[in-house]
Structure 1
Amino acid sequence: MENSRFLACLASDFDRLRAVVSADRTAAVPTCPGWTNADLARHVGQVYLHKTLGMRLGGEPDEWPPKDSADEEPLALLDRTYADLRAEFAARRPEDPTGTWYGPDQTVGFWARRMAQETVVHRIDAELAAGQPVAPVPADLAVDGIDELLKVFVAYSVAEWSDYFTDILAGSPGRTYTVRTDGAAWRVRTGPGLFTVEDGEGDEAADVTVSGPPTAVLRRLWNRESTGEPSGVTVEGAPEAVEELRRCIVTATQ
């Protein structure tokens, strides 16, 4: 996806997130236990602020979170920090250097992608909390979100911080997973200290196959499905193998 497309998706999902939170600030967020929609708005606002300050300062802010952000009304904070984030993106090129936690990509473009994906997931959180229909995720954004989750979050985390995954992968017999959606597929391999991702399904039969429409697969992998509703995702494979993948994702994204 082009940088301009990420920014367009960010704008659309921000508008939807803000509208849903504004309509029902006290709704409990089932996918973020203990949070209300107001807490969700504060969290997203602080995420926007953290990335904006990181780009401006060239590193981590000295004080986090800033006291004024903790005291500010959540929707006012969300509006202010979103405006600042967009201004920061507008002032920079996607290829400009900036610090990120993902070693292979130290550019502003990384944060444009990450904030688009962060916002769509939390927009879904707000909709689930308010009991509103979950608006469709554009197919290109959903496919990119699956790709980011598997490669940037999980594969990179296992490679860089393997100790966090020891309890999950140390006893793994070595498994293969196919994640498939419209027009895209990924082959995941696991084992002791191992989580690799390649594009495509591969030639061998997988131990587990996860397939469905892009939005449904994205929501399944991010644990953002609606309780009691058909997910649209088909999962085939042994429960213990499915659980291994789930635990890797949860650990990498918590």
Structure 2
Amino acid sequence: MTDDTDESTIEAEAARLASLAGDLSVPVPTCPGWTLAELVTHVGQTHRWATHVLRNRVQERIWSRQVPSGLAEGESGDAAWLTAGAATLLETLRVTDPAMPVWTWGPDKRASWWPRRMLFELVVHRADAELALGVDPVVPAPTAIDGVEEFLHNLPSAAWVTRPLAELGAEGATIHLHATDADGEWTITQGPGGAITWARGHAKGDVAVRGPVSDLLLLLYGRRSPDGLTVYGDRAFLDRWLSAAAF
């Protein structure tokens, strides 16, 4: 189902995260209350969840905690367990028809939704691990551009995000993102009930953010502060929106 680029990127990101999973007791500041043990366990369980959905052609909502992890009660995953789950996921993705109808939490109810979601689950949590270890995370520009659009594509389906966005009372407000190192510009418009719409291209927003596209992606996920980027316009609204929208 995945193309070669998807496969190699998922495989590389899983290997990078596994390489960071040494001392699992290290706290992860961007995931409050977690250590690297919880982070690795979460990612590995998410891989097993996606594998289960695809192999069983699941049509109704299923929570990741309902899928067997292969771990004993109270046991955390480690690098080997993470790597094994990623390998099984990749094997499953390669043999799955992308047009197969399956359950997803996003807007697309086909198997093709899952590889992209699993890639950015890895990318963002790899960044979490690097930040926990004092490493400055970088996402290659083509991957980061796709990541921004994957985030915006799925955001209207994320009810746990649209509810707090609705409470902002900001219908009609706009945020413009402008990548300084790649061909990427997006305008996000806040709609009724917390829904958003977005469009590619240059525009003027109520607030605009300029910076490397890797940083823009991590900003959307709440892993980067706007402080290190160039912000024009209503910074207070940007801070409120990012706080409500972070996954």
- Shared fold (TM-score, shorter chain, > 0.5): yes
Displacement of 1:133: 3.9
- In the alignment, what sits opposite 1:96? 100
In 1: Cα distance, 2:92 partner to 2:35 partner: 29
Displacement of 1:225: 2.8
SS at match of 1:210: strand
2:16 partner letter: R
Question: What CA distance in whole angstroms lies between the structure 1 residues aligned with 2:142 and 2:33?
Answer: 32
From 57, 63, 66, the equivalent of 1:64 is 66
Tell whether the 8 Å contact from 2:178 to 2:185 is kept in structure 1 after alignment: yes
Equivalenced residue count is 238
Structure 1: gaps of 5 or more residues: none
Distance 1:55 1:235 in 2: 42
Query: CA, structure 1 residues 79+157, in 2 after alignment: closer, same or farther (shift >3 Å)?
Result: closer
Does the 8 Å contact 2:175/2:207 carry over to 1? yes
Once the two structures are aligned, what percentage of the paired residues are identical?
32
Displacement of 1:243 in angstroms is 2.8
Q: Is the 8 A contact 1:54 1:61 kept in 2?
A: no
In the alignment, what sits opposite 2:4?
Answer: 4
Compute the displacement of 1:92 (Å).
Answer: 1.5
Q: 2:200 matched to which residue of 1?
A: 199
Structure 1 position 196, deviation (Å): 1.1
Deviation per CA, 1:66-97, whole angstroms, max 9, x where unpaired?
37435455124312311211111122233333
Q: Report the equivalent of 1:240.
A: 236
Deviations 1:171-217 (A, max 9, x none): 22621221111201111112442421112123xx3111011111111
CA contact (8 A) 2:101 2:111 kept: yes
Q: Distance in 2 between matches of 1:137 and 1:62?
A: 26
Matches within 5 A, 1:27-106: 27-59=26-58, 60=62, 64-66=66-68, 68-69=70-71, 71=73, 72-75=75-78, 76-103=80-107, 105-106=108-109
User: RMSD between aligned alpha carbons?
Assistant: 2.6
In 2: Cα distance, 1:54 partner to 1:61 partner: 10
1:19 aligns with 2:15: no
In structure 2, the gaps of 5 or more residues are: none
Instruction: State the partner residue of 2:140.
Output: 138
TM-aligned CA deviation for residue 17 of structure 1: 0.4
Whole-Å separation in 1 of the counterparts to 2:211 and 2:165: 27
Separation in 2, partners of 1:13, 1:58:
26
Distance 1:26 1:173 in 2: 43
Is the alpha carbon distance of 1:40 and 1:244 closer, same or farther for their aligned partners in structure 2, counting shifts above 3 Å?
Answer: same
Give me the TM-score of the superposition, normalised by structure 2: 0.85
